[in-house]
Chains A and B, each alone.
Chain A
Amino acid sequence: MAEWTPKPPRPAPASSVGLGAWARRNLFATPGDVALTVLGSIFIIWLGNMLLDWALINASFSGDDRTACLKPEQGACWPFIDAKLGQFIYGRYPEAEIWRVNLVFLFGFAGLVPMLVPSAPLKSFNIAFLLGLYPVFTFIMLTGGLFGLPRVETTDWGGLLVTLVVAVTGIAASLPLGIVLALGRRSRLPVIRYLCIGFIEVFRGVPLITVLFMASVMLPLFLPDGVNFDKLMRCLIGVALFSSAYMAEVVRGGLQAIPKGQYEAAAALGLGYWKTTRLIVLPQALKLVIPGIVNTFIGLFKDTTLVLIVGLFDLLGIVQFHFTDASWATPETHITGYVFAGVVFWSFCFAMSRYSIFMENRLSTGR
């Protein structure tokens, strides 16, 4: 007697698998859906077509001045970006010294990538390099004046260099400062608590422009003659303090989400305040607020454009600054410039955002 074998399962009906079924289910299920799909596709095609026309088909790709971008129906004026790219990245950093900036970028990249990849080895060395050696190295390389490197005034820095210096300093300083402030705000010691509350509320209560303006314009009036901080340094301090106040509130949100039982369990195990905070509370709290932290980072990255108000040229500032070069003034110049700046900012922010999602997924094991 033949052994009984179950019939192989029949494939799903053709009407419920494949691209056609997916489209029917998601795009053409009801007359309303059909209308939306058609309208949506028309809009996307129209927009894509327009972008393509502007960015590629009608665009100019080579030329030495504005005459390259003056044809009728002119699209993007890419030669403008090409001619000014060095300016957009390095500002007025002396040409002979640009290798120093490149070296700093390279080392930063080399230090950051293994830091971000969880499986890369030697994390503790990596952290020591990024937080200890790298800032010192960057400072010496960029400002010079030591080891025979010619001095480069910060007023000559500009473009992406300034954007990254301000953003990275703000990001690196705001997280530890913010954690300290958040813990301080929940402290049982009244002096510490009120100091932290005062600091946070003052810096959250005024716009960043005010902080920068005070730091750059008013401060020198109150300082005695001859005492003068570097303008970029004043901005960096202002941005770091400002963003740490925001970070403190984000971290405090995480701290408040930790159930009381966790503290009691830690106390039952005989852990003191610092050990409880370091081993039990902070790892959970920070994991909870990763989206908030990255949100603050992204906000800070974009806020760096405000340093223009005190006469520092960040990426957007220097792009706008070069609109005033009459030899490149065309109807398309500023649109092209803004699109370029927008794409650069978007790439950085998008990268941060994707990394944050990756970290959330990695850390949420067991949830």
Chain B
Amino acid sequence: MKMLSFQFRVVIVLVCACAFSQSAAAAETLSIVKKREHVQCGVSQGLPGFSNPDDKGNWVGMDVDICRAVAAAVFGDSKKVKFTPLSAKERFTALQSGEVDMLARNTTWSMHRDTALGVDFTGVNYYDGQGFMVRKDLGITSSLELDGASLCTNLGTTTELNAADYFRTNNMEYEIVAFEKADEAVAAYNTGRCDAYTTDQSALYAQRLKLTEPSAHVVLPEIISKEPLGPVVRQGDDQWSDIVRWAHFAMVNAEELGVTSKNVDRMKAAKNPSIRRLLGVDGTFGENMGIGNDWAYHIIRTVGNYSETFERNVGKSTPLGISRGVNALWTQGGLQYAPPVR
């Protein structure tokens, strides 16, 4: 996700330049989607907790749930979505060429991507960032105690540079042990070749499962880089961009208002005007986006609120066991904040 070579950037920019003429014609995504009767959603080729297969081969994960939420908003049916697994290299061209309507592919929102590639990010469904994993028996609780540590990491990624910056800023000694592939780095860490393993936190939790004794390792709380992951749409179709943006906001708002997939039917009769507006009992918020007024009701009924999708896919009860951390609601000290439905 961070390893775009220079040549490849050039190719992307050229491709986007050719595709700009098409992106204007590709507006009205909503009517195309409605005609096709399903949302075509670009996802990863497998990332635990975000888009991965279950035993039946169904797609599950946080990114997958955003796609299902959009389908639920448009059709009232979260099953009307098809997934296109995309490699990191082809994801933006696939979006540009109209092969997919949206990307939910653990894509980091960066200025370059937002401004130069002809795409728009609609929000952040997971705040990721680089972190450290160490052995529990080292007794370390903060990455500021890592002075003199050796770090296993991947060769030539921004991960390496971030770690270097972090250690230099905090006047700490360090030694980088870089490997070509993530699997090699994890294996080296597993055999005790280095004190800590560093990469994006969500990946740390996933890699931890591959260690001989996962419970003997701990992911330190600090995040040393910003990797906001979010859905991406083509630039120039504001209506579609609004729908994808508000699909995520609806889930965050639902959590804040205490609406879950279990109580949503009861909540329709609630007196709280915020809940009534969210569930489409009052107002015409869905109509303004060109979809049904009960759009959010269907999202919550079939996919759940933000907390439900988080806990189901990456939360404490899953093998990944990620705590909410910065992804908690703003009312609980996190960063997940949605504008009101008003």
User: Which of A155, A313, A326 contacts B82 (CB under 8 A)?
Assistant: A155
CB distance from A353 to the nearest CB of B (A): 30
Min C-beta distance of B311 to chain A, whole Å: 13
B319 touching A327, Cβ below 8 Å: yes
Interface flag for B118 (CB, 8 Å): no
Known contacts A221-B19, A311-B85, A313-B85; A322 and B93 CB within 8 A of each other: no
| A115-123, A139-147, A328-336 - the one binding chain B | A328-336
A91 touching B57 by the CB < 8 A rule?
yes
> Closest approach, in angstroms, between the C-beta of B4 and any C-beta of chain A?
15
What is the 8 Å Cβ interface bit string for chain A, positions 189-221, against chain B (1 contact, 0 not)? 000000000000000000000000100111011
Q: Is the interface of A mostly helix, strand, loop or mixed?
A: helix
In the complex, are the beta carbons of A308 and B206 less than 8 A apart?
Answer: no
Contact A221 B96 (CB under 8 A): yes
Contacts of B210 in A (CB 8 A): 329-331, 333-334
CA distance A91 to B53 in the complex (A): 11
Cα separation A92 to B55 with both chains bound (whole Å): 10
Contact of A220 among B47, B99, B209 (CB under 8 A): B99
Which chain A positions have C-beta within 8 A of B320? 326
Q: Which of B46, B85, B93 contacts A221 (CB 8 A)?
A: B93
* A225 & B22 in contact (Cβ 8 Å cutoff): yes
Q: Provide the residues of chain B in CB contact with A322, threshold 8 Å.
A: 46, 53
List chain A residues, Cβ under 8 A from B93. Answer: 217-218, 221
Is B90 a contact of A310 with CB atoms below 8 Å?
yes
Complex-state Cα separation, A91 to B56, whole angstroms:
9
Q: Report Cα–Cα, A95/B56, bound state, in Å.
A: 9
Measured between alpha carbons, how far is A91 from B83 in the docked complex, in Å? 14
B-side binding surface: helix, strand, loop or mixed?
loop
Assess A217 versus B90: contact at CB under 8 Å? Given A87-B57, A313-B85, A320-B46: yes
Residues of B within 8 A of A333 (CB): 210
For B211, what are the chain A residues with a Cβ–Cβ distance below 8 Å?
331
Q: Do A217 and B94 touch across chains, with their CB atoms under 8 A apart?
A: yes
With known contacts A221-B15, A221-B93, A331-B210, A326–B318 Cβ distance under 8 A: yes
Q: Is the CB of A326 within 8 A of B45?
A: no
Query: Are B47 and A311 in contact, CB atoms less than 8 angstroms apart?
Result: no
**Contact of A53 with B by CB under 8 A:** no
- In the complex, whether A355 has a CB less than 8 A from a CB of chain B is no
Chain B contacts with A in 48-107, Cβ cutoff 8 A: 48-49, 52-58, 82-87, 89-90, 93-94, 96-99
Contact assessment for B183 and A326 in the assembled complex, using a CB-CB cutoff below 8 Å = no
Contact A321-B46, Cβ < 8 Å, known A91-B57, A153-B82, A221-B15: yes
By a CB distance below 8 angstroms, the chain B residues around A83 are 55
Residues of B within 8 A of A (CB): 15, 18-19, 22, 25-26, 45-49, 52-58, 82-87, 89-90, 93-94, 96-99, 183, 190, 206, 209-212, 318-320
| 13 residue pairs A–B, Cβ–Cβ below 8 Å | A87-B53, A153-B82, A217-B94, A309-B89, A310-B87, A324-B53, A325-B52, A325-B53, A325-B54, A326-B209, A326-B320, A327-B55, A331-B210
**Can you add 6 more A-B contacts, CB < 8 Å, to A87-B55, A311-B84, A333-B210?**
A92-B53, A221-B22, A321-B85, A324-B46, A326-B209, A326-B318
Which 8 A/B pairs are nearest by Cβ-Cβ distance?
Answer: A324-B46, A329-B209, A324-B52, A326-B48, A92-B57, A321-B46, A220-B97, A326-B319
